[in-house]
């Protein structure tokens, strides 16, 4: 046997062992001898793998990518931006680029975050409603008294309603 044949045999054996180690199986070993293909965005391009979408978002400064769900016209992603703010992003599944849409950007507080934010000032939420771009909350203080509180759904800023006001 020639040196080239031996190299091919050992190369194939190494590729099969590596594929087996990575859990790719025999079909995964078939493509290991071929160089990597570049992902190029095109109109007929397939959907990018999720790991590549996450990689592209990390390159743009997004961290702690916690949820990626399929939306009507893209991938809805929840992450933190480079300043640590919770954001919702709509991503094109073919290119990995952000798509500007209403309702995406800095994410509003969810119910768990609202309870945590109110607990930090000694309040427990009783009821909450979204009105005039703020959360109107009835919260119980440590003395058991219900208070009307306003919470900015984006920043989490809390302020109390005027005393004697019946606004909720």
Residue-wise pLDDT for 23-51, tens only, equals 555 554 455 555 555 655 555 668 888 88
Residues 60 and 85 in one domain: yes
Instruction: Decide if 123 contacts 141 (C-beta within 8 A).
Output: yes
- Side-chain-side CA neighbours of residue 53 (13 Å): 27
The predicted model gives 106-132 an average pLDDT of: 81
Domain holding 22, by residue range, is 1-37
In a domain, 43, yes or no: no
In a domain, 118, yes or no: yes
Contacts of 94 by beta carbon, 8 Å cutoff, 6+ apart? 41, 42, 45, 46, 47, 48
Residues 97 and 62 in one domain: yes
Q: How confident is the model at residue 84 (pLDDT cuts 50, 70, 90)?
A: confident
Which pLDDT value is given to residue 3? 63
pLDDT top residue among 82 and 5? 82
Instruction: Decide if 91 contacts 60 (C-beta within 8 A).
Output: no
Residues 153 and 120 in one domain: yes
Domain count, the chain: 3
Q: How confident is the model at residue 156 (pLDDT cuts 50, 70, 90)?
A: confident
What counts of helices (H) and strands (E) characterise the chain? 4, 9
CATH of the domain at 148: 3.10.450
In a domain, 166, yes or no: no
pLDDT at 92 over 70: yes
In a domain, 17, yes or no: yes
Residues 59 and 87 in one domain: yes
Taking the whole predicted model, whether its pTM rises above 0.75 is answered as: no
Mean pLDDT over the full length of the chain: 76
Residues 54 and 102 in one domain: yes
């Amino acid at each position: 046997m020639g040196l080239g044949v031996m190299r091919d045999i050992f190369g194939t054996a190494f590729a099969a062992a590596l594929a087996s180690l990575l859990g790719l199986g025999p079909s995964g070993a078939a493509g290991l001898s071929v160089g990597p293909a570049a992902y190029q965005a095109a109109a007929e391009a397939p959907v990018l793998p999720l790991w590549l979408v996450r990689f592209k978002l990390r390159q743009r400064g997004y961290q702690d990518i916690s949820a990626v769900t399929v939306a009507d016209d893209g991938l809805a992603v929840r992450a933190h931006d480079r300043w640590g703010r919770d954001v919702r992003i709509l991503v094109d599944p073919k290119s990995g680029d952000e798509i500007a849409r209403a309702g995406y950007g800095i994410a509003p507080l969810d119910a768990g975050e609202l309870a945590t934010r109110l607990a930090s000032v000694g309040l427990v939420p009783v009821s909450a409603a979204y009105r005039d771009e703020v959360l109107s909350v009835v919260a119980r203080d440590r003395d058991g008294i219900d208070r009307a509180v306003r919470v900015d759904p984006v920043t989490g800023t809390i302020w109390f309603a005027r005393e004697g006001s019946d606004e909720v």
